Amino acid sequence: MEADYVVVGTGSAGSVLAGRLSEDPVVSVVVLEAGPRGKNRFIRIPAAFSKLFRSEVDWDYLTEPQKQLDGRRIYWPRGKMLGGSSSMNAMMWVRGFAADYDEWGELAGPDWDFAHVSKYFDRIEAGPLVISPLRSPCPSTAAFLNAV
């Protein structure tokens, strides 16, 4: 098999990259994914996402020993399936904090600050994925969301 591009991994970035590359009809794209297609029923049940932990669709990583945690290693779930870790995220969409992107801007240049990257969030939120607020958060969740 020959291809113009080979995309390894179908997480959020790999899937988008493969999709964009394949928009050109003269380009051939092959996508490689280590895990299954993502047919595990728990992928589509937000409250059941933890059932994916340490399963056949999880790489089951541990961090390096953490000095600040007395040398403990922390479980770091990562998706091994079509969609990668974005398929084991409880179907949540969360924008990062503006201050974090502004720090990126200081380190990597102004194109990475929140004012510049927020237009991409807007595009994602208005795109093919349906992004909507939590329908009926409990009072403590609503208070937390209003506080951040």
What distances in angstroms separate CA 53 from CA 14, 50, 88, 90, 91, one per listed residue?
A: 22, 5, 8, 12, 15
> Where is pLDDT greater, at 11 or 128?
11
User: What pLDDT does residue 55 have?
Assistant: 94
Tell me the three state secondary structure of residue 8. strand
The residue ranges of every structural domain in the chain are 94-147
pTM, two decimals, is 0.71
Q: What is the mean pLDDT of residues 42-62?
A: 93
Neighbours of 9 (CB within 10 A): 19
pLDDT digits (tens, 9 = 90+) for 66-113: 999 999 999 999 999 998 998 998 888 888 999 999 999 999 999 999
The tally of CA atoms less than 13 A away on the side-chain side of residue 58 is: 17
Residues 120-142 pLDDT 10s: 999 888 887 788 877 777 888 77
